[in-house]
A and B are shown apart, each in its own frame.
Chain A
Amino acid sequence: MFDGFRNGLGLAMAGKNPWGSPGKGNGGGSGDGDGSGEGPGGGGTPSDGNSDGPRNPWLPGGGSGGKKPGSKPGGRRSASIEDIFKNRGPEGPRRAGGGGGGGFRVPERPGGGSWLPIIIVAIVALWAILSMTHFIQPGEQAVVKTLGSYSRTLEPGVNFSAPYPIETVDVEDTEGVRAVSIPEGSNEKLILTGDQNLVDLSYIVRWRINDLRDFKFQLAEPEETVNEVAEAAMRASVAEKTLDETFTGQGRAEIEQSVRERMQTTLDGYRAGIQVVGVQIEKADPPESVVDAFRDVSVAEQNADQARNQARGYAQQTLARAEGEAEAFDKVYEQYRLAPGVTRQRLYYETMERVLSQTDKTIIETEGVTPYLPLPEIRRRATAQPPQITVEANSSRQGGQ
């Protein structure tokens, strides 16, 4: 659509220009009186014919474009056609191969001379118009320099300027936020913290152009400047924090804030026309070679918690047992106090029953009897065990088969 519009403009200009060019070029004037000029024109046909061959299609176009103003060229051309038929009639068939276009132009060399500038002017005009119209997209701005000197800033929309050498237009995206990741790639970037430790830090700086004029004309290398300023600010800010603070969320937030402010102050000092939108710390890790030691710290914390939990478990258990036992004693004692003697005897006999019923007993009634140890019992137990082993061996063998 734009092209159509531009072409339309171009054609209009091209059509208009022939007015100027004949007047300027004098070619029209001299061509009329140049009957003798045809001779030399004939001599020049081979070269002209070659160069005019491709240009031929233009002629009707130019003629139609310039119909209104082109009465003069039209008249001239018809005259030239007649001339061809008169003078070169016999040669016509031979020259047919040379192209009708050459035939049209050749006799009137000055007339041809008036076409060349028209075409040049048309091209120049088209190009000029293209360089004069500027479509600034939303979010963009452009600076215009008139003969090198800043003249104005163009806002989004259709804008016009003087053609190229006089005014230059430089379009730049001003609303878009640019993000720079530092360091580039996934390199390790060690930064010294305030307590002389090292932290592996990567961050993103987001910025946009605030004042296009300053951005264009104040800094030799604006983008590199942003990177360097960011790095200086980041290192200055991290150096104010301890290593542990850089790992905490709050410490990071403070660093981000202070980097942003530092950068803005520095860039404003350069009048860079840059607004720092934000700084984000992407990653703050211990250096790779000491990361194990750092992990061990968190493991140690787990271990300590584990030890505490176990101790608490033990405490609960001990207390519960103590309370249980005390409670039980209290209950029994309560009853015991009601009938101390009987209860004591009862407890004694009950316990003895339980104890002695489960054990081998030997009672030595009379004095002087040698104590008799229950040897059969021991032997029985000794013989009972080996069969058990063989049984186990058998079963395991069966299991093996």
Chain B
Amino acid sequence: MENLWNNYRYLIVGLVVVVIGFFMSAYVVNEEEQVVVIRTGEPVYYANRPGSDYPAGVYFRIPIIDTIQRIDKRVLDLELTDEEVLSNDQQRLMVNAYARFRIVNPQTMIERARTTDGVRTALEPILNSALRQELGRRTFQQMLTAERGAALANVRANLDREARQYGAEVIDVQIKRTDLPSGRPLQSAFERMKSDREREARTIRAAGARDARVIRAEADAEAARVYAESFGQDPNFYDFYRAMQSYDETFRKAQEGEGERGDSSIILSPDNEYLRQFRGVR
């Protein structure tokens, strides 16, 4: 052992120094991150930057003098939750939006924002105001549908312009949720929906009643036509025939299952046609 030490002292020391030096200077750049090497405060070179010639892998630096900063290369998100936005027609809307961005220029990012969280902090008010500005120009209805896409494209363009100053590129801005604020606006929306349905229900019932009336009237008219056609052949006989039926109906006794009918007492004058023969021919 001592021989070993004596014989290979320099070799061993050299090896140890090399190993320590290796671990102090080598660093791994992962696929999903980019690395900036900062030498005495100045960024000197980059690895795995989008479009750069230095892909991910192992790199070396000068220990102690060079420090490295790792920056996410992936798509990052910036969330905006429950912002109350006023539309052109003075309607309030709760908007949840998000932006997706990635760091494309690490140098600018480090100089202006230090970290990705710094970028988020810087971009959040910008996204907020860009969103308000765009949506505030539109009515509630437009916000919901037609111009949503155009508005978001504008917001994205505005935000992207600002984000470039922080070395970031905004890929997309999307409105995640648009809600009515809870409380009165929501309640009044419910009321409106309810009254709308009530109106619909009334309309449907009225339509039903109207149809029923028409159907009945048509039937009555048809019946009248049938009667007229038939009875019109001899109005005189119809009068007699119908009178006979009517007497039958009026003076008959109550039938089984029928309610009480008024009793009839008939006082006949001898001059009555019915009693013509009864009196004998005078």
Contact = CB atoms under 8 A, between A and B. Distances in A.
Given A322-B223, A326-B227, A148 B28 contact: yes
Interface stretch (A9-17, A65-73, A88-96, A313-321): A313-321
B171 A192 contact: no
A276 B149 CA distance: 21
A190 B190 CA distance: 11
Contacts of A301: 204
B32 A216 contact: yes
Contact of A360 (B72, B73, B266): B266
A344 B244 CA distance: 10
B193 A286 contact: yes
A290 B194 contact: yes
Nearest to A262: B174
Contacts of A356: 251, 266, 274
Given A219-B74, A360-B265, A321 B223 contact: yes
Interface in A258-273: 266, 269-272
Given A196-B144, A318-B219, A348-B244, A266 B174 contact: yes
**Interface centre among B32, B140, B148, B252, by most A CB within 10 Å?**
B32
Interface in A210-228: 216-221, 224-225, 228
Q: How large is the interface on B (under 10, 10 to 19, 20 to 34, 35 or more residues)?
A: 35 or more
Contacts of A327: 230
B253 interface: yes
Nearest to B265: A360
Interface of chain B, helix or strand or loop or mixed? helix
Interface stretch (A74-82, A121-129, A304-312, A391-399): A304-312
A374 B266 CA distance: 10
B78 to A, nearest CB: 11
A282 interface: no
A270 B269 CA distance: 110
Interface stretch (A132-140, A156-164, A245-253, A362-370): A362-370
Interface in B64-121: 72-77, 98, 100
Q: How large is the interface on A (under 10, 10 to 19, 20 to 34, 35 or more residues)?
A: 35 or more
A180 to B, nearest CB: 15
Contact of A323 (B194, B197, B226): B226
Given A270-B171, A351-B244, A147 B32 contact: no
Contacts of A329: 230-231, 238, 241
B63 interface: no
Contacts of A149: 29-31, 55-57
B237 A364 contact: no
Contact of B270 (A232, A290, A365): A365
B265 A374 contact: yes
A327 B196 CA distance: 51
A81 to B, nearest CB: 22
Given A149-B57, A300-B204, A329-B231, A347 B240 contact: yes
A363 B77 contact: no
A361 interface: yes
A290 B174 contact: no
Interface stretch (B36-44, B126-134, B161-169, B209-217): B209-217
Nearest to A305: B208
A319 B223 contact: yes
Contacts of B58: 147-148
Contact of B1 (A110, A307, A364): A110
Interface string A318-342: 1101110111011011001100100
B271 to A, nearest CB: 10
B52 interface: no
B268 A364 contact: yes
B146 to A, nearest CB: 9
Interface stretch (A54-62, A97-105, A291-299): A291-299
B229 to A, nearest CB: 7
A351 B214 CA distance: 38
Given A221-B77, A236-B148, A198 B180 contact: yes
A148 B174 contact: no
Nearest to A373: B265
A307 B72 contact: no
B248 A351 contact: yes
A366 B240 CA distance: 29
B1 A30 contact: yes
Given A148-B57, A304-B208, A352-B274, A228 B241 contact: no
B13 interface: no
A37 B1 CA distance: 9
A319 B208 contact: no
Interface string B167-208: 000011011111110000000011001101110111011011
Contacts of B148: 236, 239
Given A149-B31, A363-B270, A293 B248 contact: no
Contact of B197 (A146, A272, A293): A293
29 contacts: A148-B29, A149-B30, A190-B179, A196-B189, A198-B189, A217-B73, A228-B98, A266-B174, A293-B194, A293-B197, A293-B198, A294-B197, A296-B201, A304-B205, A311-B211, A311-B213, A315-B215, A318-B219, A348-B273, A354-B252, A355-B266, A359-B266, A361-B266, A362-B265, A363-B267, A363-B275, A364-B269, A371-B267, A374-B265
Interface of A: 26, 30, 37, 110, 113, 145-150, 190, 192, 194, 196-198, 216-221, 224-225, 228-229, 231-232, 235-236, 239-240, 243, 266, 269-272, 286-287, 289-290, 293-294, 296-297, 299-301, 303-308, 310-312, 314-316, 318-319, 321-323, 325-327, 329-330, 332-333, 336-337, 340, 344, 347-349, 351-352, 354-356, 358-365, 371, 373-374, 377
